[in-house]
Chains A and B, each alone.
Chain A
Amino acid sequence: MNARGIFLPLLLALALLAACAKPRNVVQLVPDPDGHVGVVRVTTAAGAAELSQAGNAVRVADAKSMPSPPEVLSEAESDALFGMAKRALPSKPVRFILYFENEGTKLTPESQALLPQVLATAQERQSRDIAIVGHASRQGDESLNITLSRRRAEFVSRLLEKQGLSPEDLEITSHGSANPLVVSTRKNEPRNRRVEITVR
């Protein structure tokens, strides 16, 4: 009873000491928001270690030491090290694609109907950084396509401004037919007549 009473705190103290002695330069791999797990490679002057399992981490003592073999990092230590950064991580930007009728700046009815959702997303995210990128299909003269893609982006920008978004937060670019969404034998491929909106 008595021996046990001493042993347990001693063990705890030792565990704590061991935890303190562990290097606190840590790299941890975690799942993406969509559950997918990637791969990162941690390299020092002495060598490299690869992380490919969710929750695993390596520790690095200094620039001349090998990274430790991957180990599972406790949630408590992960939170102690990264808690504030984790809570500040922005959610992934949201992308919308609006399509146009042939040769002009008239939105298809389906894309017109999508506008309230674009607006709601911008407001919900309190976005101050919205990219509006205009595109045209390959049909016709490229100099006209460049103008058309620009006009489409400006048209969408004006629509969003009218709905109350600030022009300062909207960034317009246009690509003519240079960045098709789909490679198609059809010169006037409808899926390439579009404006892409990224709400950051």
Chain B
Amino acid sequence: MRTDRRQGYGLVVLAMLLLAFAAPIAYAAEASPAGSVKSVTGQALVLRKGAAAASLKAGDRIFEKDVLTTGKASSIGIVMRDNSVLSLGPSSRLVVESFLFAPEKGALAQVLKLSRGSMDAVSGEIVKLNPEAARVETPIYTIGIRGTHFLLNVEPGNETPAEAAEGVEVVK
């Protein structure tokens, strides 16, 4: 009888622990990805709020608000959920400022911020459905996209000092 009861408490504690840990996991699973990494040459990092900078590899998911940086002689290829594709050349920094792709709800947004480096991009469903919903921003110019394949670069030195400090070179 006593042991039963103890087991009972144990189960309750276990259940509470499970709940405590499961809740944030469940939350994380709800945020749907904005895209995934197709390829990495050299080194590419992702900076996510509340997490240490992490190396990216093929198959990793990309989320809204992610900050992506590439090192010297490095590049990364990404496929977004609306089937737009993009890539970053060396010493680049890109923020996925906003990404929404729920056409059935009319929720569409794709705002990417390139603060330094180079980028190749082919637009996808979002631009096809609503060109106004998509743009690429840089510290000195903004690109509005009616389609579809374009290249851009921004010389270093135009980003904020904090942005300039982020990246592969400073994360050893």
Interface residues of B (CB under 8 A from A): 36, 38-39, 41, 58-59, 61, 73-79, 83, 85-90, 92, 104, 118-120, 122-123, 138-155, 158
Across the interface, do B150 and A90 meet the contact criterion of CB distance under 8 Å?
no
Given contacts A32-B149, A38-B149, is CB(A63)–CB(B140) below 8 Å?
A: yes
Interface size for A (C-beta < 8 A) is: 47
Given contacts A38-B146, A169-B59, is CB(A26)–CB(B152) below 8 Å?
A: yes
Number of A-B contacts (CB under 8 A): 146
For B81, the closest partner residue in chain A by CB is A131
For B57, the closest partner residue in chain A by CB is A128
A92 touches B (CB below 8 Å): yes
The 8 Å CB contact of A88, one of B39, B83, B149, is: B39
CA distance A128 to B35 in the complex (A): 11
For B73, the closest partner residue in chain A by CB is A84
Chain A proximity of B41: nearest CB distance (Å): 6
Across the interface, do B150 and A30 meet the contact criterion of CB distance under 8 Å?
yes
Greatest chain B CB density within 10 A among A88, A128, A169 is at: A88
Given contacts A25-B138, A33-B122, A128-B58, is CB(A90)–CB(B151) below 8 Å?
A: no
Across the interface, do B85 and A89 meet the contact criterion of CB distance under 8 Å?
yes
Across the interface, do A38 and B119 meet the contact criterion of CB distance under 8 Å?
no
CA distance A92 to B150 in the complex (A): 14
Per-residue interface assignment for chain A, residues 109 to 133, with 1 indicating a CB less than 8 Å from any chain B CB and 0 otherwise: 0000000000000000010110000
Chain A proximity of B7: nearest CB distance (Å): 34
Across the interface, do B151 and A82 meet the contact criterion of CB distance under 8 Å?
yes
